[in-house]
Amino acid sequence: MLNLTPSDIRLGQKFSSKEEAIQGIAKLLAELGAVEAGYVDSMLGRERTANTYLGNGVVIPHGQPQQSNLIRETRVVLIQVPQGVAWKGEERAHLIFGIAAKSDEHIGLLARLTSITADADLAKDLASTTDPEVIIAAVFGEETGAGDDIDDDYAGERVFVKFTNPRGFHLRPASQLAELTEQMDGNISLVVNGREADARSALKIVSLGITAESHIEIRSDSPYATDHLDRISRLLELINDEPQEVIDEVDSAIHWEPVQSESTSSISGTMAAPGIAVGPVFHWNLGSHDAADRKRGDEASECSALEVAIETAVSGLTELADDENMNKVQRNLFTAHVALVDDLELKEAALNKIKEGEDALSAWNAVVTDKAAKLEALTDANLAQRAVDLKDAGHRVSRVLLGEVQDPLAEITAPVVLIAEDLEPSEAAQLSSEKVSGICLRAGSPNAHSAIVARSLGIPMVVAMGDALADAVRDATVLLDASGARLFLEPSEADLESACKALKAIDARREQAWSQRFSPALLTDGHRVEVVANIARVEEAENALKAGAEGVGLVRTEFLFLDREHAPTEDEQYECYKAMVEALGGLPMVLRTVDIGGDKPVDYLGLSEHDLSFLGLRGIRLGLARPDIIKTQLRAVFRAAKHGPIKLLFPMIATPNDFRRIRQIAETVRREVDGPQIDLGVMIEVPAAVTMAPELAKVVDFFSVGTNDLTQYGLAVDRTHPLLAKRADSLHPVVLRMIDTATKAAHAEGKWVGVCGGLAADPLGAQILTGIGVDELSMPAALIPAVKEKLRKANLADLQALAKRALAQDDAVAVRLIPPAV
């Protein structure tokens, strides 16, 4: 038990910030010989990842366990701040108990502090007293009565769990338990050493003074008590099993927490791209074009104005598409929009309206709006997306006619946090990390193409934030914690300083990972994981090699088929695939056959809305329905395979017979072009393929798991729907168990397994997948160095234990509570 003496107390102090107060506490501990001088950094680090505010002005700053070697002796000190110092949101700290403890010695102190946190009048008196003995008596005098008297005649259900974690039941696990029980009904409580506390209150849980070897009785009188008690027991087992050396070892550069916020004003959403951003608010407002703002000329001048506007828009888009400073994701989008703007039918329709008496702007807007409305009226999500693309491209011509700048960010001189309703692909493609430090969308989805662009640029992004974004004031400095999916509208100076330090740490870590990018992802025990890239264009293959990719795990060939008036020819495809595999210089390349439909529609195939749906003619189903499309592509693939190691991947395979049918077609085509024998694999992206994985593994050469679609189909969630975005979590045990099943089936037949979906690039996801036994992780090239660096610090046994723990959970929230192995 920690004790407090008058020499450990400093009364009547003043601090201007939380950071200064923590520095004062650390200095006092050092002066008393309890810690080394460097312990202050450990205490500040803890504040970035944990909440130390207990209530009624009582705080307990302490260090991180991995720096416990800086503690010379266990000790507690107190600094009284009568005027208070901002600590958490609007809460102010008056009694700062600084703790230096290597293990769970401070748990008893937390229990005793309940007498203050539960009594506002007592806390107020202690914050102003001039007698240190008064404080000592309040904390260490008569034994605190934390917890309620135990009910010996309890008639509800109960279970018993032994707590074994040597660090004790401190505030973080107590908060996790309280968060879990908040979702449950009935009365739920914990009983320890004859005292009972409400399991929905983190402070009351802490007040029980639970330490290693404590026996916890969990009680519930709910009709669903059996389920509730089982879930609580499992959480306690997770807390028990947390490795001491990694518990609370959170990367503060990513998992950032406010240090001092004068306002609790924040908005939450769904993370689309991780990171932290600081900057002034910039509202992205495009598409509001008023014909009244432009005077009409005669018919000839209006026709000429429209043609010049179209030519100017096409020229601008072409220039952007050729800009080497933009990545391929951006350039491809601009290229696609050239065709939409330069559509002859649209231009002729608008010219006819001009001849009927309308001005150029009104005519163009009317034609674009009319065609888009016809697409939207079909009530098909994919065609509706084409309508949005059309309006998006049309606005570029409208802006030329109005004399507006094509780049809304042209005048931006310092990075801003961009606020918008949503961002279409072409709008997102105009962004750069030099001008945009973060993105917040009222709508949107983490799987939308704008999110892909943001991730490719390394721009933090949060979507589905709702109408509250209207509260963001233009030019006001905000702080975006995209990894935490929240925007702070009024960050304090201390928060801004802390975030800037985190950004510097991120940059330093990226530089370290980049310098080692060509080294393989060898775990500490020698186990190797292949880390490869997802690409869609030749230039991306070159960029993947520069980023340290060990090959290409997914070529998205559908991008050759989109935003055009006809399917690509055999020779066009051949030249593209040949250039890709040659660019890799002998490294393997997995090429997926065309996967259009779903969220990647095409117009020229003449397919109905049912055909284009997520459950329609997607993937290989289109190839079987339209042999001309798939045979042309297969001819190009087998011709290109003569120039390098290509593996062929078939999407939307549900059964072995699906594969056998396409395999027969592929073999016929191979013989026709005298192509080489190549490995044939299937995408594991529908539950049926998981169920049939043992049978599929007997006839294919490899599996590639598409976690985005597997999540969508497995959880029955439209991954593009903003209201459902939070449900589409690939870390859900449903998804992880399907991957585990498929991996075991493949390995039983000696076949390898890759993952090419978004989960492979998730820091926790990559570790769990490796623990499950996945052989290859494929991701955007920009993320390869960081994932490799993270995996090199782990060993397979720890990752297997992590995966086992994740597979045993019952929802994604529980999985994310598990600390990563590294």
334, amino acid identity: F
Query: Could you state, in order of their start, the residue ranges of all structural domains in the chain?
Result: 6-140, 148-241, 266-284+409-512, 291-401, 516-817
Which of 557, 548, 562 minimizes the C-alpha distance to 580? 557
Q: What is the DSSP string of 543-558?
A: HHHHTT-SSEEEEEGG
Question: Is the domain covering 6-140 a CATH 3.40.930.10 domain?
Answer: yes
Least confident of 46-55, 284-293, 363-372, 470-479: 284-293
Burial of 772 (0-12, 13-18, 19+ CB in 10 A): buried
User: Could you tell me which CATH class the domain 516-817 is placed in?
Assistant: alpha beta
Per DSSP, the three-state class of 172 is helix
**pTM listed for this prediction:** 0.58
Query: 3-state DSSP helix/strand/coil percent for the chain, to nearest 5?
Result: 45, 15, 35
Q: What is the pLDDT of residue 406?
A: 59
Residue 594 DSSP symbol: P
pLDDT tens per residue across span 629-648 = 999 999 999 999 999 999 99
Selected catalytic residue, list 62, 228, 289, 337: 62
CATH of 148-241, one of 2.60.130.10, 3.30.1340.10, 3.40.1550.10, 3.40.190.10: 3.30.1340.10
449 is catalytic: yes
Average pLDDT over every residue of 313-336: 67
508 burial (CB, 10 Å; 0-12 / 13-18 / 19+) is: exposed
Asked about 566 being catalytic, the answer comes back as: no
- Annotated active-site residue 337? The verdict is no
Q: What is the average per-residue pLDDT within 27-33?
A: 93
436 sits in which H/E element: strand 436-441
**Helix (H/G/I), strand (E/B), else coil: 464:** coil
pLDDT at 243 over 70: no
Q: What is the mean pLDDT of residues 751-755?
A: 97
350-384 pLDDT per residue, tens: 899 999 988 888 888 888 888 777 766 654 444 45
What's 723's DSSP letter? G
User: pLDDT tens digits for 574-606?
Assistant: 999 999 999 999 999 999 999 875 544 566 666
d(CA 344, CA 95): 74
Higher confidence at residue 176 or residue 302? Answer: 302
Could you report the per-residue pLDDT of 166-213, keeping only the tens digit for each? 767 776 678 778 878 888 989 999 998 878 888 888 767 877 778 878
Q: Which residue has the higher pLDDT, 770 or 137?
A: 770
CB 822 within 8 A of CB 790: yes
Assigned superfamily of 291-401: PtsI, HPr-binding domain (1.10.274.10)
**Average pLDDT of 528-542?**
91
Q: What is the pLDDT of residue 379?
A: 45
In this predicted structure, what is the pLDDT of residue 250? 34
- Specify the CATH class of 266-284+409-512 in words: alpha beta
Of residues 596 and 249, which shows the higher confidence score? 596
Mean pLDDT for 521-540 is 93
> Cα separation of 199 and 204, whole Å?
8
Question: 106-125 as b/e, with b when 16 or more CB fall inside 10 Å?
Answer: bbebbbbbbbbbbeeeebee
pLDDT at 66 over 70: no
Residue 564 CB burial class (10 angstroms; 0-12, 13-18, ≥19)? middle
C-alpha span between 111 and 358 (Å, rounded): 78
pLDDT at res. 575:
95
Label residue 318 by pLDDT band (50, 70, 90): confident
Residue 562 has pLDDT above 80, yes or no: no
Q: Which of 211-225, 262-276, 519-533, 727-741 has the lowest mean pLDDT?
A: 262-276
Indicate if the pLDDT at residue 281 is higher than 90: yes
Q: For residue 263, what pLDDT band results from cuts at 50, 70 and 90?
A: very low
Stronger pLDDT, 209 or 144, i.e. the higher one: 209
756 is a catalytic site residue: yes
Please report which confidence band the pLDDT of residue 50 belongs to, taking 50, 70 and 90 as the band edges. Answer: low
Higher pLDDT, 615 or 749: 749
Average pLDDT, the chain: 83
Q: Choose the catalytic residue: 94, 337, 449, 732.
A: 449
N-to-C CA span, the chain: 32
Answer whether residue 482 shows pLDDT above 50.
yes
